[in-house]
């Protein structure tokens, strides 16, 4: 079954998305840790899309779709903001971040470590981010 939600690009909607994913996952009786990890990965992607791709422009929207099929969680976000270039992404050196007092830049590292598959694609002016995670 496909679950979908559309949100405007405001940080305030992060909680709405987390609650939406928690609602979808509720039926699957996952461990606290696994459920939290999946919600976290989605939150990180959505926060990046809201803040970096769409510059918190509340007139813009994200379309979010979640399915669970054959014990696999699948997430897709679609927007028309600035596309993310995974090729330019470097895994952060956390000790260096501490030395420099850096505030950001560890979200995608969390997503990469949690999810089995992380994919960014751009088709025309639409960007898609897709995540996959085995649940069992």
Footprint on this chain of other proteins (rule: CB under 8 A):
11-12, 14-15, 18, 32-33, 35-37, 39-40, 43-44, 47, 50-51, 94-95, 97-107, 109-110, 113-114
CB of 74 to other proteins, least distance (A): 21
Is 29 or 99 the residue whose CB approaches other proteins more closely? 99
Tokens matching residue 49: 């899309």
DSSP state, 9? S
Shortest distance in whole angstroms from residue 1 CB to other proteins: 26
Question: Minimum Å distance from CB 80 to other proteins?
Answer: 21
Of 14 and 135, CB closest to other proteins: 14
* CA–CA gap between residue 78 and residue 81 (Å, rounded): 9
Tokens found for residue 75: 């997430």
Pairing of strands 117-123, 126-134: antiparallel
Cα diameter, the chain: 46
Q: How far apart are CA 87 and CA 30, in angstroms?
A: 33
Q: Cβ 42 to other proteins, closest distance in Å?
A: 10
- Cβ proximity to other proteins: between 2 and 12 the closer is 12
The nearer residue to other proteins, 1 or 100, going by C-beta atoms, is: 100
Q: Return the number of the residue (36 or 83) whose C-beta is nearest other proteins.
A: 36
Q: How far is the CB of 123 from other proteins (least distance, A)?
A: 27
Distance, CA of 86 to CA of 105 (rounded, Å): 13
Please give the torsion angle defined by the CA atoms of residues 83, 89, 91 and 93, in that order, rounded to the nearest 10 degrees: -110
């Amino acid at each position: 079954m496909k679950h979908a939600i559309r949100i405007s690009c405001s940080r305030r909607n992060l909680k709405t998305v987390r609650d939406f994913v928690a609602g979808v996952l509720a039926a699957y009786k996952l461990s606290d840790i696994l459920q939290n990890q999946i919600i976290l990965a989605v939150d990180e992607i959505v926060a990046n899309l809201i803040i970096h791709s769409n510059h918190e422009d509340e007139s813009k929207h994200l379309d979010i779709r979640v399915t669970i099929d054959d014990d696999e969680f699948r997430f897709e976000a679609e927007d028309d903001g600035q596309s993310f270039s995974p090729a330019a992404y470097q895994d952060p050196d956390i000790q260096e971040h501490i030395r420099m007092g850096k505030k950001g830049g560890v979200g995608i590292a969390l997503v990469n470590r949690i999810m089995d598959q992380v994919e960014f694609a751009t088709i025309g002016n639409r960007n898609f981010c897709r995540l996959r995670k085995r649940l069992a």
